């Protein structure tokens, strides 16, 4: 998967270069997106011939901020540049040097990484989602079944980063090991 990602990033850089776009990574030196994972990385990205361009950013970025405008055309966040899906997009001639927003993105406060219990049940044997932020590296485990209906992970209950889902009458006490 990494080689495919690297190939796609190299292809995107080649296409951007062919279109006359400026794309550089890390302290102004050409590089590969996602390397190195340093919060001081910068990305220079410019809109070629007033057309939209996406410039991949290092994986650890959770947002971007314009550090220096390098174009004559205005760079207005949300209108001529923005950040989404792991890239900075520029349009209408905007060009600039970008850095990670807030030193790389939002970080939870102290005490966020912790273990706690959540009760979640399927009302009237229907699908139900119990919203709880598990975190990117968190885990959920069934602690104690409370229902007569069986609780089988992957069939009648499961979880993702946003919470726990239950179905077909499953009701249980779950332990959430929340990790950023």
Count of alpha carbons within 13 angstroms of residue 54, beta-carbon side: 12
| Per-residue model confidence as pLDDT tens digits over 119-145 | 999 999 999 999 999 988 899 999 999
Ordered by start, the domain boundaries in the chain are 2-103, 114-178
Residue carrying structure tokens 């119990």: 130
Distances, alpha carbon 123 to alpha carbons 56, 93, 130, 159, 174, in Å: 44, 54, 12, 17, 16
| Per-residue model confidence as pLDDT tens digits over 32-84 | 443 434 545 789 999 999 999 999 988 778 888 898 999 999 999 989 999 98
């Amino acid at each position: 998967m990494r080689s495919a990602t690297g190939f796609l990033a190299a292809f995107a850089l080649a296409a951007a270069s062919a279109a006359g776009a400026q794309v550089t990574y890390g302290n102004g030196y050409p590089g590969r997106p996602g390397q190195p994972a340093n919060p001081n990385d910068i990305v220079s990205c410019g809109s070629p011939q007033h057309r939209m361009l996406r410039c991949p950013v290092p994986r650890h970025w959770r947002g971007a901020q314009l550090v220096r405008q390098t174009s004559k055309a205005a760079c207005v966040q949300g209108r001529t540049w923005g950040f989404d899906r792991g890239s900075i997009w520029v349009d209408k001639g905007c060009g600039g040097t970008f850095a990670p927003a807030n030193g790389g993105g939002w970080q939870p406060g102290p005490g966020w990484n912790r273990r706690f219990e959540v009760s979640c049940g399927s009302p009237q044997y229907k699908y139900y989602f119990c919203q709880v932020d598990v975190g990117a590296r968190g885990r959920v485990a069934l602690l104690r079944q409370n229902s007569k209906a069986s609780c089988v992970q992957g069939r009648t209950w499961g979880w993702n980063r946003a919470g726990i889902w239950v179905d077909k009458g499953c009701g249980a006490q779950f332990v959430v090991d929340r990790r950023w």
